[in-house]
Amino acid sequence: MASVTDKLIAGLSGRAEMAKGDLRDNLFWGKVVNVDAENLLMDVHVIGGGVNKVIGSIQINSNFTSDGYGLRLIPSTSSVVLLNRVNDKLYTHIGYHYGSTSQLISNTSNTKDNEVAIILKRSIESGEVQMVGLTNNEIYLSNDGSVLLKAQFGASLALDNIMHRLDGNFANMRYEMDGVRLRAGNIIRPVVTSTNEDDFIVLNESNVVVKESTLAENKNGSPLREFEIKVGTSISSEGVDNDPPLSPTVGTLTIGDRIVNEKGEEITVLGNSVNFRLKMSTGCSLVVDNTGSFYILDDTSGSFTKFGVGPSAEKSLRSGDSMILINEEQGVYLKHASGSTMQMYKDGNIQFSDKSKNSVLMQSTGITLNSPDGDINIIGKKIVLSPTGSVYIGDPSSAMDTVLTAGGFAKVYDIHKHLGPVGPVNPADGLMNPANAQNSSAKGITVT
């Protein structure tokens, strides 16, 4: 008993046999000379069968099924199409000419010599399906059940049926999901003025982050790459993320050659480029800069804690305008928001300073009290000066400013002349030379 398919084929063969004579006279090959893709019309130059003319406004047969869905194809100029002449004024498009297609297809081992001026198309086996565009972009359904989607320059997405794997091969990637954005590859941002179109972010010859479109003619920038995921994104009415200070609503994780915001501006920490950043909407960030230093940042106030790397690495802590800095060059430096500081130098010296520039410096040569615009007061129940040498007020190089110790003052008092109203008190004593201002005066000091 014949199947439904057998009956259908037999019926079509019968109709084709009845119409054979008419079809031969009404089929024409023609070359496409113009395409109106918007209205799906084409002009075709028909030669043969007593016809040599351009027939205009022929409707393009662009899909396998009706009502605009299915596989659609728009022919290019110079394509050869098959037309059916309904009457002298009406022609219908029914097919294409594929006579030289074998010259455009490679072999299964992909070793066939190319005799044409285009890239050879993929060789497919029986049962496989391929849809190829004019620029060699394609959709390929292989016999092993895999699916390949490939662009002209090699970017591709493959569903590997054997390995149960999704393979992507492309320079740049961007996924916009429900509140989640994933970007990877070259750094690209919507920074073109007035249009918000994307532009590559690169390094210029001065190693500065710039938009590629701003480079001088014949100048090339160095590409910058990143991997970034944002959770809690929202798109503005203009279709771009304005990147407010605490956006997105959850956080951002970025690893890259440089960290760049949505405006194409580089983000730095203490003047250093950043290679890693975990930024939360609460205002806390974890950052690693290009020197390897690790930071804990408070984005709302600018406070941070820094951990350097290496044997002489810098460590620092900042809260508002107060900070502690430890490094090999400066030693230990503490600064309060009021302006007062303490510094312990690497050579062992210590200095305390206030906001008025008053200071105490302790070093190997002694202790220096400095108040350039104020007084120095020493107040106590008993003040003891116990020098092993001299005590000076004023310039130490001037003997006039020498201050006597108590013992020294008594010695001088015992050996100089004591003059009274009527002369020396004890003129018979064999006294030494009288004391004078060079060895007994105490400038600015009152002895009682």
User: How much is the average pLDDT of 240-267?
Assistant: 83
Which pLDDT does position 297 carry in this prediction? 92
* Sheet of strand 156-160, all strands in order from the earlier edge strand to the far edge: 129-132, 138-141, 147-150, 156-160, 165-169
Confidence of residue 16 (pLDDT cuts 50, 70, 90): very low
Burial class (CB in 10 A: 0-12, 13-18, 19+), 335: middle
More confident residue, 404 or 294: 294
User: How much is the average pLDDT of 376-397?
Assistant: 75
Domain spans in the chain, listed from the N-terminal domain onward: 4-96, 101-169, 275-320, 321-377, 383-448
Whose tokens are 């809690």? That residue is: 232
Confidence of residue 5 (pLDDT cuts 50, 70, 90): very low
Phi, psi for 228 (deg, rounded to 5): -140, 140
Among candidate residues 383, 384, 385, 358, the one with its CA nearest the CA of residue 372 = 358
- Angstrom CA distances, 233 to 95, 148, 172, 240, 330, stand at 49, 31, 20, 10, 43
Question: CB–CB of 169/161 below 8 Å?
Answer: no
CATH ID of 4-96, from 1.10.1760, 1.10.10, 3.40.720, 2.40.50: 2.40.50
pLDDT at 239 over 70: no
User: How much is the average pLDDT of 279-297?
Assistant: 93
Which pLDDT does position 392 carry in this prediction? 67
Does the global pTM surpass 0.75?
no
> 190: cis peptide before it, omega within 30°?
no
Chain segment 319-365, per-residue pLDDT in tens: 888 889 888 877 899 999 999 999 999 888 999 999 988 999 999 88
User: How much is the average pLDDT of 232-247?
Assistant: 64
pLDDT at 196 over 80: no
Which pLDDT does position 2 carry in this prediction? 52
User: What does the block give as tokens for 313?
Assistant: 């690495």
More confident residue, 448 or 283: 283
Map residue 226 onto helix, strand or coil: strand
DSSP one-letter code for 425: S
User: How much is the average pLDDT of 20-46?
Assistant: 81
Chain segment 118-127, per-residue pLDDT in tens: 556 677 777 7
Residues 6+ positions from 318 with CB-CB distance below 8 Å: 302, 303, 304, 305, 306, 324
Chain segment 393-422, per-residue pLDDT in tens: 666 665 444 455 555 555 555 555 555 555
How many other β-carbons are positioned within 10 Å of the β-carbon of residue 429? 10
What span, in angstroms and rounded, lies between the C-alpha atoms of 263 and 225? 16
Among candidate residues 26, 116, 30, the one with its CA nearest the CA of residue 79 = 30
Question: CB–CB of 76/90 below 8 Å?
Answer: no
How many other β-carbons are positioned within 10 Å of the β-carbon of residue 69? 9
How many other β-carbons are positioned within 10 Å of the β-carbon of residue 226? 20
Chain segment 80-116, per-residue pLDDT in tens: 888 888 887 888 898 887 666 666 677 777 777 766 5
Residue type at 261 in one-letter notation: N
- Of 36-45, 189-198, 431-440, least confident by mean pLDDT is 431-440
Chain segment 201-230, per-residue pLDDT in tens: 999 999 999 999 999 988 899 999 999 999
User: How much is the average pLDDT of 133-138?
Assistant: 82
Whose tokens are 């290019």? That residue is: 76
DSSP one-letter code for 105: B
Q: Tell me what the pLDDT averaged over the chain comes to.
A: 79
For β-strands 391-392 and 315-319, DSSP reports them as unpaired
pLDDT at 63 over 80: no
pLDDT at 438 over 60: no
User: How much is the average pLDDT of 289-296?
Assistant: 93
The percentage of residues in the chain with a pLDDT greater than 70, rounded to a whole number, is: 72
User: How much is the average pLDDT of 267-295?
Assistant: 94
Which pLDDT does position 102 carry in this prediction? 65
Among candidate residues 197, 170, 175, 204, the one with its CA nearest the CA of residue 186 = 170
Which residue intervals of 341-384 are DSSP H helices? none
Confidence of residue 245 (pLDDT cuts 50, 70, 90): low
